[in-house]
Structure 1
Amino acid sequence: MQFNMKEEGMRINLDYGQLDISGDETYGFRPFQLMVASIAGCSASVFRKILSKQRIAFEDLQVTADVERNPDVADRIEKISLHFVVKGQHLNVDKLRKNLDLARKNCSMARSVEDSITIEESLETIDLSL
């Protein structure tokens, strides 16, 4: 990966498109946003893949990430709380929780930071069969 300097940050061109990175979100994604997006995106992708492999039908999957940062230590990310919302019919909450635990064990981004950032996950289901 090659990052190139621009006036207000860095830029990388990838197969999917251009990514601008800057401490000022007027000019690009802030580094902490990319870190959180990597962890949330990886966790959700692995969770989705596990549900698909187990043929667990669902209509939608959303993730919300709340971030706690430490302003006294370079605004370090201390904790990320991921809230997963699964929408579908006749969802088995216990099975979904087990699969979410499995997803965490297989998410490379979460595993990469597990000794330095606390990651918490919560699960909510919305049963559309009612």
Structure 2
Amino acid sequence: MNFKMTENGFTTETKFGVLEISGDDNYGFRPYQLLVSSLAVCSGGVLRKVLEKMRMPAENISIEVKEVIRNAEEANRLEKVHLHFIITNSELDEKRMPRVMELTRKSCSMVQSVTDSIEVVETYELIK
């Protein structure tokens, strides 16, 4: 990836289009938003695969970022992200969900990348 400076931030071109990044959300995605998005979507994708492998494929998964805590005293450092998964599936076995969530956390490269620096809390609810 190559990033080019603009008047208000940076841009990069991807095969899906131009990604605008700026510290000011009037001009693009803020870097912390991209980090939170990476944590959420990586986890969601892994969750989907784990459910499929356990023969409980999700009909739908929504991810709500319930909380983001940043530390203003340390350069607005990201300290905590709470991801809440809403999983729709008429055949989910609730007893197996703790293992599903454990495997999801263990297999998500983005969550594993920040394990020692950002607290990532994952909760879920099931809709049948």
> Does the alignment reach a TM-score above 0.5?
yes
Does residue 30 (structure 1) correspond to residue 10 (structure 2)? The answer is no
Q: Give 1:54 deviation, angstroms.
A: 2.2
User: Deviations for 1:90-128, whole angstroms, at most 9, x for unmatched residues?
Assistant: 32122122111101101110001100001111111112x
TM-score by length of 1: 0.93
Say whether the 8 Å CA contact 1:110–1:119 is kept in structure 2: yes
TM-score (norm 2): 0.94
- Please tell me the root mean square deviation across aligned C-alpha atoms, in Å: 1.1
Q: Which residue in 2 is equivalent to 1:125?
A: 126
In structure 2, give the amino acid aligned to 1:95.
Answer: R
* 1:20-76 CA-partner distances (Å, limit 9, x unpaired): 000111110000000000011100001101111222133211111121111111111
Count of residues in Structure 1 that have an aligned counterpart in Structure 2:
127
Q: Distance in 2 between matches of 1:57 and 1:47?
A: 10
Contact residue 48 and residue 57 of structure 2 kept, 8 A: no
Aligned to 1:90: 91
Query: What is aligned with 2:64?
Result: 64
For residues 86 and 120 of structure 2, the distance between their equivalents in structure 1, rounded to whole angstroms, comes to: 17
Q: Percent identity?
A: 43
Asked whether the equivalents of residues 105 and 111 of structure 1 are also in contact (C-alpha less than 8 Å), the reply is yes
Q: Secondary structure at the match of 1:63?
A: strand
Q: Is the Cα–Cα contact under 8 Å of residues 52 and 58 in structure 2 kept in the other structure? A: no
Structure 2 spans left out of the alignment, 5+ residues: none
Number of the residue aligned with 1:112: 113
Asked if 2 retains the 8 angstrom alpha-carbon contact of 1:97 and 1:123, the reply is: no
The residue that corresponds to 1:13 in the other structure is 13
> 2:43 matched to which residue of 1?
43
- Judge conservation of contact 2:63–2:84 (CA < 8 Å) in 1: yes
Distance across 2 between alignment mates of 1:101 and 1:69 = 25
5+ unaligned residues in a row in structure 1: which ranges? none
